[in-house]
A and B are shown apart, each in its own frame.
Chain A
Amino acid sequence: MSLKPADDDTETGAEEDDPVIPAGVLRGIEDIADENTASKADLESILDS
């Protein structure tokens, strides 16, 4: 996985191959699809803990 900063908006090749990413990203996408999201109150609880 490249961690070089993008220096422009070029998207060339973005869809050429499916990139390898942390598995947590897919869990996050599933959460969004399932509407399992964190509210402001949830975030307050996390930051206060």
Chain B
Amino acid sequence: MSEIPLTDEETRIIFAGEAASNLRSLEHSEQEQIIKRLCAILESDAKPSSLRYERIGLLDIYAAGDQIRLYTKVVDEIPRGDAEYHLIYLFYIDDDHEYKQTDLATYSPAAEAKLQEATSLETVHDVEAYLDRMSAVDAADLRDLLD
């Protein structure tokens, strides 16, 4: 059995517009299931990367129930050397796996390059300014959504 690394850092999540659009299209019960799953990840003492369901390329996939998959990229421990935060980018919410071929794409290094900003932030102040600019939400925000 593998060990689960524990963490003192806070985890924040950034919802891409696409993920928000996906969320809007779901039933209320599915929306709640997703927010609950994300809330559990953000409130966990374990590093978010240790809670993923699987990895596809450089993407981190979380499961919410049997059907729903959350396509994310987890950035552990930023800023480097003085870690205060973990960050999850939520790109896409998949509520079934029956894709048409035209709905599929290839994940490339070019896509990964678009996500380098967070890892290049050098100070806690820089990270917090970035999280603010990107409207990152924390566990308390998600908990509020469920109330």
Contacts and interface: CB of A to CB of B under 8 A. Distances in A.
| Chains A and B are bound partners | yes
Interface of A: 1-9, 11, 14-15, 18-33, 35-40, 42-44, 46-47, 49
Contacts of B144: 40, 44
Nearest to A20: B104
Given A9-B2, A38-B16, A47-B145, 6 more contacts: A1-B56, A20-B104, A21-B59, A29-B115, A33-B115, A43-B141
Contacts of A18: 57, 106-109
A23 B108 CA distance: 12
Nearest to A13: B57
Interface of B: 2, 14-20, 22-24, 28, 31-32, 35, 50, 52-59, 63, 69, 71, 89-92, 94, 97, 99, 102-109, 111, 114-115, 133-135, 137, 141, 144-145
Contacts of A47: 28, 31-32, 35, 145
Contacts, number: 151
Contact of A2 (B56, B63, B115): B56
Contacts of A40: 135, 137, 141, 144-145
Given A21-B105, A29-B16, A43 B145 contact: yes
A39 B135 CA distance: 5
A28 to B, nearest CB: 3
Nearest to B138: A40
A24 B16 CA distance: 10
Contacts of B19: 28, 38
